[in-house]
Amino acid sequence: MSKWILLAWIACLLLPLMSSAESYTNPMTIEGQCPPIEPGADDYGTGDPFVMRFNGVYYLYPSTCEDRVRVFTSRDLVNWTFAGYCTQGKDVYFAYAPEVVYWRGSFYMITSPLGAGHYILKSDSPLGPFIPVTENFGHSIDGSFFKMDDGTLRMLFPDNWFIKSAPLDEETMLPKALASDTGATLHHWTEGPGMFRRGDWYYLTFTGNHVCSTGYQVSYASREVSPVGRFTQREDATLLINSVHGDDFHGLGHSSNVVGPDLDSMYIAYHNLVSLTGPARLYNLDRLFTNNGVLYTTGPSQSPMPVPSMPDVWGEADGELHGFTQTADGWFADLPETGVFTQEWNFALNGGAAQLLIGQEGGEDVVARVDQTSITLMAGGEAVHSAELPEIGPADCLHTLRAEVTPDIAYFYIDDMRVLTVEKPGYTAKRIGAKIAEHVTYGFMGCTAQALGSSDNVALKLLPGGFAARHALNAAELTLEVFGVQDELGAMLGSADYAVRISEGGAYCFDLTVRKEDAGRAVRLTLDGAPLWEGVVPDFTGRGTTFTFTTAPVTLPEGDHTLSIAAQDVLLGRVQAFAHAPVEAMEFDFTDREQRSRFVTYGPFTMKPTEGMLRINRGKKGLAMFGVEGYTDYALDVTFDIPRDGEGTSGILLRATDVSLYDLQVEDSYFGYGIIVSERGITLKRSRYGQAGATRFRAVDGWQDAQTASLHVEVRGSVIDVYLPGEQEPVLTLDDGKPMTHGMWGFFSTGKELTVRACAVRPLD
């Protein structure tokens, strides 16, 4: 028996039985995870989870609080079994963020003990033992590998708040040449890079704002054609964050990305912060979706979600077969004929040539022949396409052939390297199989009737949450058109149907992103065929060709449903649903204990009942928030002392969500709008955790010599109007095409003093 087949057999013994459970819920406790660090009561857990797929098995490598790294195995990314320790010795004491790549027949681990530079270790097995092959060569923290199509390796790493990459020397495994700057950043501490590809797009995920902050988060950038160079990072590129006051599911970050068991879906594994001792963290999993250069997830989820599914047919050559049949000629499966499919075949050549029946073309079998140096596609026994392979390692090591096939394109990969592309292939999968070949041994094999993310269309979309309009159950009936930058596609309505899971019943609003030219056109929402909301696309007067508007509140029932959105010639880009809450009218009296208790303060904002005011002193940073994140439209009146002392800024927050305060992160740690007040005047700005958007400034005569001032603010739809007392026209207006449509209101300071004398809020009709 080949050592690779033996390894797969041993790994399967370590796997749990396939779970009959239909769902999982974040966060997850994994049996065998790292124990508590004294004096903590919570397990150190599974921080910085990295997941690798090899021969049909997933391997999980988390950070460790010991002198060895633990490894876990799974078939479905949810049910994990502790498989022991995969390193030896104190070279990896308190190893941060171990990541593993299979390259040229060996497994390489990169890790950063205590975050103080990097080691690379090597093993013949994903279960170890991994032995160091380098000394500490620096480059900060959180290294990651990416395999190039030419067979070389690159290392991703953080440097000065940016993610960079550099090629690795084949002999020394050390970085060589100058590092390439990806441009990806969270504008403060940035770490945890990871890269994957779908089609011609490369997606770089990264994390930051400090692991101990509730605002720790995952963001992304993308780039077409090549993984080397500067990536495009959208303003709305945050993937995972949850920093809601009172919710202990927070500190989400340090993710890894991996293809799902069905071979087409993509998943993101990440941790949440449990306690600061350690810090203790737990494992989480959510699905990723792609829309050309745009990446999104319906996570972070805390509701039961479907356990990732297996392929339509799959099995092990020396194990269980699910849809495959073993014959004297090999292992074969019959499928409903499809021109869209993804296949995975694992094999060790041992000096031979693998023969893989991937489908048919014009009634002839299409066979992929793979030897040590080449891949050849045979149709009717004749070679029709071929390519040379880069260096793939010794003759007895395991290799993976991955085929992604649609009517337009077919991609073939060997060990994650794209080695062959066929345009307009005309292949269909009806009968597939691995043919017995001299010397060749086979491992895991599978096929699913989805490719290049087509399964995104049928996947459940979690509400509250958002999704791309193109990912509809009836996507094949929709016309897709370019909607934005990075070739983002929208769906031309018609009618589009979506499988949604509503986590909790209640009042919701929908944010719909459309074109400016769609104004005045009717839109209708139904749930399971029943009317939900009907209205027209409003006018938009701001900049840009697309914008987002919000529906009136509707009542949604908990559970799985079909959401339908219908219109005539409306190009719909994105759909977002959030829990709505009515704004409570209040005139605040800071001498009232009950009213004071309803403010949520972060940092040294204090309320002085004897003086009837809310205050923060110069040199301090803090926030004082009121309400819930489901507030939409409201009017606010504020009287304040004009700030003069201290560095930084201070003022009023509007529609703020995911508010966080921590020293080692960006100052504007929230999504929302800030009105900065000073003796010079008023600045209205938009912020997404340091990703600054539109900014407006207006000087105000008389504030230079005044002690106090007042403002009236109205937030309605995409428009924010700021008025001076007694004025009928706003002194500042922002009509935002990418609005933060809901959130709390309050006050902030990044070092400037602020004293609030009075404030009142009321809902807008």
Kindly provide the b/e burial profile for residues 740-752, where b requires at least 16 CB atoms within 10 angstroms of the residue's own CB: bbbbbbbbbbbbb
> Which of 300, 301, 303, 286 minimizes the C-alpha distance to 559?
303
Q: Are strands 180-185 and 162-167 parallel, antiparallel or unpaired?
A: antiparallel
Q: 293-303 pLDDT, tens per residue?
A: 999 999 999 99
Average pLDDT over residues 554-559: 98
> Is residue 9 over pLDDT 70?
no
Sequence-distant (6+) residues with CB within 8 A of 598 are 626
What pTM was estimated for this model as a whole? Answer: 0.95
489 vs 11, residue with greater confidence: 489
Split at pLDDT 50, 70, 90, the class of 15 is very low
Average pLDDT over residues 331-355: 98
Average pLDDT over residues 528-547: 95
> Which of 68, 108, 106 minimizes the C-alpha distance to 84?
68
Quote the pLDDT of residue 637: 97
> Is residue 20 over pLDDT 50?
no
Quote the pLDDT of residue 474: 98
Split at pLDDT 50, 70, 90, the class of 31 is very high
Q: 203-227 pLDDT, tens per residue?
A: 999 999 999 999 999 999 999 999 9
Sequence-distant (6+) residues with CB within 8 A of 670 are 623, 653, 656, 657, 658, 659, 660, 687, 689, 748
Q: 117-174 pLDDT, tens per residue?
A: 999 999 999 999 999 999 999 888 999 999 999 999 999 999 999 999 999 999 999 9
Q: Which of 90-94, 123-127, 360-364, 555-559 has the lowest mean pLDDT?
A: 90-94
> Is residue 388 over pLDDT 60?
yes
> Is residue 6 over pLDDT 80?
no
> Is residue 12 over pLDDT 80?
no
Average pLDDT over residues 283-310: 97
What rounded mean pLDDT belongs to the chain? Answer: 94
> Is residue 443 over pLDDT 60?
yes
Quote the pLDDT of residue 3: 42
Q: Return the amino acid letter for 316.
A: E
Average pLDDT over residues 282-302: 97
> Is residue 17 over pLDDT 80?
no
> Is residue 401 over pLDDT 90?
yes
DSSP state of 428: B
Q: 672-720 pLDDT, tens per residue?
A: 999 999 999 999 999 999 887 778 899 999 999 999 999 999 999 999 9
> Is residue 2 over pLDDT 80?
no
d(CA 396, CA 569): 58
Q: 254-281 pLDDT, tens per residue?
A: 999 999 999 999 999 999 999 999 999 9
Average pLDDT over residues 88-117: 91
Quote the pLDDT of residue 8: 43
Quote the pLDDT of residue 489: 97
> Is residue 10 over pLDDT 80?
no
Burial class (CB in 10 A: 0-12, 13-18, 19+), 392: buried
Q: 402-416 pLDDT, tens per residue?
A: 999 999 999 999 999
Average pLDDT over residues 55-71: 96
Domains of the chain: 37-306 (2.115.10.20), 313-448 (2.60.120.560), 460-579 (2.60.120.260), 586-763 (2.60.120.560)
Average pLDDT over residues 658-672: 93
Beta strands in 188-263 (DSSP E): 190-198, 201-208, 217-224, 238-240, 250-259
> Is residue 5 over pLDDT 60?
no
CA 570 to chain centre: 28
> Which of 216, 202, 206, 157 minimizes the C-alpha distance to 185?
206
